[in-house]
């Protein structure tokens, strides 16, 4: 971008000589050549993008890919623009699914979900996604589909590691136990709230319930959760 569209032959040669000085041998020669190829491609790309669009966006993009290949070579171009290509082809595939009149809404949703999982797998392989985020999203989808604990463990193990899968399974068990205890506390709290006690006695009994159901470390979370559930019930 800083070089602008009118770089002279002399200025390009000076840049290439700087590269050869800093990176000797065949590597320097290749980088110097790639700089010129890339610069010329960007000029051609600017001209290409300025032309009227007389085809579908997907076909237009494929012609841009061909233009990259012609200036940079297929291998170099595909590596340089791998992320952009992945995102663009995902977008075009998503549009194709959404505009397919032969698919029901349910079929579209299923295909879009499969497409997104494929994109996540690709971005994960490129190191552009956090494996834990991908695993969490995958587990959420599995739970929505009623998957078993074994299925969830297998998905986590494949994306993370056996150790992480075991740790997360243990965390799931702890969370389930917490939710069970909180449900019991909330039911008992309702009885207290409906007993017609004065405010002081009501608060005292609720505090006793907190001490009965939760450890000291858990009580602050229980109080926050109680506030959230109270707000939910008030709606």
Is residue 86 a contact partner of residue 119, using CB atoms and an 8 Å limit? yes
**pLDDT value of position 235:** 67
**pLDDT value of position 37:** 94
What is the DSSP track for 12-23?
HHHHHHHHHHHS
For helices 216-234 and 199-213, the axis angle rounded to 10 degrees is: 130
Is residue 138 a contact partner of residue 155, using CB atoms and an 8 Å limit? yes
Measured from the Cβ of residue 186, the count of other Cβ atoms closer than 10 Å reads 17
Is residue 67 a contact partner of residue 48, using CB atoms and an 8 Å limit? yes
pLDDT tens digit sequence for 50-76: 888 888 888 999 999 999 999 999 999
pLDDT tens digit sequence for 112-161: 888 888 887 887 777 777 788 778 877 887 888 788 888 888 888 887 78
Alpha-carbon gap, residue 29 to 17, rounded angstroms: 9
Q: Residue 83 pLDDT > 90, yes or no?
A: no
Check residues 137 and 91 and name the one with the higher pLDDT. Answer: 91
pTM given for the model: 0.56
């Amino acid at each position: 971008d800083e070089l602008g569209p009118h770089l002279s032959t002399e200025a390009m040669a000076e840049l290439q000589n700087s590269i050869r000085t800093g990176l000797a041998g065949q590597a320097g020669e290749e980088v110097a050549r790639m700089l010129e190829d890339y610069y010329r491609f960007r000029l051609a790309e600017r001209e290409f993008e300025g032309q009227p669009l007389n085809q579908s966006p997907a076909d237009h993009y494929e012609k841009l890919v061909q233009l990259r290949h012609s200036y940079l070579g297929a291998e170099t171009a595909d590596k340089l623009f791998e992320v952009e290509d992945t995102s663009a082809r995902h977008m075009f595939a998503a549009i194709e699914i959404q505009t397919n009149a032969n698919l029901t809404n349910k079929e579209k949703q299923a295909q879009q979900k499969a497409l997104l999982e494929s994109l996540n797998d690709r971005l994960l392989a490129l190191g552009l996604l956090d494996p834990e985020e991908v695993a969490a999203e995958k587990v959420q989808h599995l739970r929505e589909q009623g998957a078993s604990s074994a299925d969830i463990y297998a998905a986590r193990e494949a994306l993370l590691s056996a150790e992480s899968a075991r740790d997360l399974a243990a965390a799931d068990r702890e969370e389930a136990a917490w939710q069970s205890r909180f449900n019991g506390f909330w039911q008992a709290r309702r009885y207290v709230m409906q007993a017609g006690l004065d405010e002081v006695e009501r608060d005292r009994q609720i505090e006793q319930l907190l001490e009965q159901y939760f450890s000291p470390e858990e009580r602050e979370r229980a109080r926050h959760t109680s506030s959230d559930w109270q707000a939910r019930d008030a709606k």
